[in-house]
């Protein structure tokens, strides 16, 4: 999501101008070091997606490479904060890396795709969010079996949602690379994205909104959310997976 907080040291205008003038590797590396914690924060935030399939150090390495690229391509005259510009690049690189690992078993990938297809079909037919009972009936599953499927496909669903949001963010970021000095279109798109994210959360049930808010806004881990709500971690996975499926449809429609 777009609410990642960082403890990165800021680089002042004078430092940027010195680097832009000299393009020295030493000055570039100083800026990269100043913002290196940005990569760690993003990598840790996305750990729920890849924790069983990739090493944190490998993910951070990919993020640092993207950070270096962001420093080299950043222009402070474009009127966008470097943290915003770099976050888009870093998150995109991490998503690409996770995708390249082909870490989702074929059966779970199919299960997730089937679940999405049935969810969207029922939504189109009814014009509203389908219930768990309706999805389970359509898939000839019990509620327990559906919940188990939600838990198993959690990481894949979360990655898919992050990818949809990142694609929209990167579209806004591409405008920064254009010849527009003040990039008003980029600011408009960022505002629209924030509004759409808020709207997608509002469509969720109360328990789903709570889980999403604790995960994205309070930055709690699944285990911590389970403790707050007094439920099992697997149940948190199921609730979050269901919420992500709903939000993903909303964001897909917006991204078209």
Angle formed by the axes of helices 154-176 and 143-152, nearest 10°: 50
Report the pLDDT value the prediction gives residue 48, as an integer from 0 to 100: 73
Q: What angle do CA 236, 248, 40 make, to 5 degrees?
A: 65
Report the pLDDT value the prediction gives residue 181, as an integer from 0 to 100: 44
Report the pLDDT value the prediction gives residue 186, as an integer from 0 to 100: 56
Angle formed by the axes of helices 233-255 and 184-202, nearest 10°: 140
Measured in degrees and rounded to the nearest 5, phi and psi for residue 170 equal -70, -30
Enumerate long-range contacts of 212-220, CB under 8 Å, 24 or more apart.
212/240, 212/243, 212/247, 215/240, 216/1, 216/3, 217/3, 219/5, 219/45
The domains found in the chain, sorted by start residue, are 1-103 (1.10.1740.10), 104-256 (1.20.140.160)
Token pair belonging to 43: 């990598």
| pLDDT by 10-residue block (mean), the chain, 256 residues | 46 86 91 93 82 82 94 84 88 85 75 89 89 93 92 82 73 49 56 73 88 84 91 92 84 56
Please choose, from the candidates 194, 224, 225, 195, the residue with its C-alpha nearest in 3D space to the C-alpha of residue 208: 225
Report the pLDDT value the prediction gives residue 2, as an integer from 0 to 100: 41
């Amino acid at each position: 999501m777009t609410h990642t907080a960082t403890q990165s040291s800021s680089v002042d205008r004078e430092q940027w101008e010195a680097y832009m003038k000299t393009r020295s590797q030493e000055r570039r590396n100083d800026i990269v070091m100043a913002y290196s914690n940005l990569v760690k924060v993003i990598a840790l935030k996305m750990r729920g997606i890849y924790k069983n399939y990739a090493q944190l150090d490998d993910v951070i390495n990919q993020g640092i490479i993207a950070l270096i690229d962001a420093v080299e391509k950043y222009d402070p005259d474009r009127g966008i904060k470097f943290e915003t510009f770099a976050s888009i690049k870093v998150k995109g690189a991490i998503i690409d890396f996770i995708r390249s690992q082909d870490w989702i078993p074929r059966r779970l990938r199919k299960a997730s795709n089937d679940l999405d297809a049935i969810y969207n079909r029922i939504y189109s037919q009814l014009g509203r969010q389908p219930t768990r009972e309706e999805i389970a009936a359509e898939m000839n599953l019990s509620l327990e079996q559906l919940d188990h499927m939600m838990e198993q496909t959690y990481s894949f669903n979360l990655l898919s949602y992050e990818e949809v949001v990142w694609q929209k963010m990167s579209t806004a970021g591409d405008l920064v690379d254009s010849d527009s000095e003040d990039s008003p279109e980029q600011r408009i798109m960022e505002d629209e994205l924030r509004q759409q994210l808020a709207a997608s959360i509002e469509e969720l049930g109360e328990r789903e909104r709570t889980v999403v808010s604790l995960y994205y806004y309070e930055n709690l881990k699944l285990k911590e959310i389970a403790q707050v709500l007094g439920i099992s971690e697997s149940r948190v996975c199921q609730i979050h997976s269901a919420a992500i499926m709903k939000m993903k449809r909303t964001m897909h429609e917006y991204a078209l």
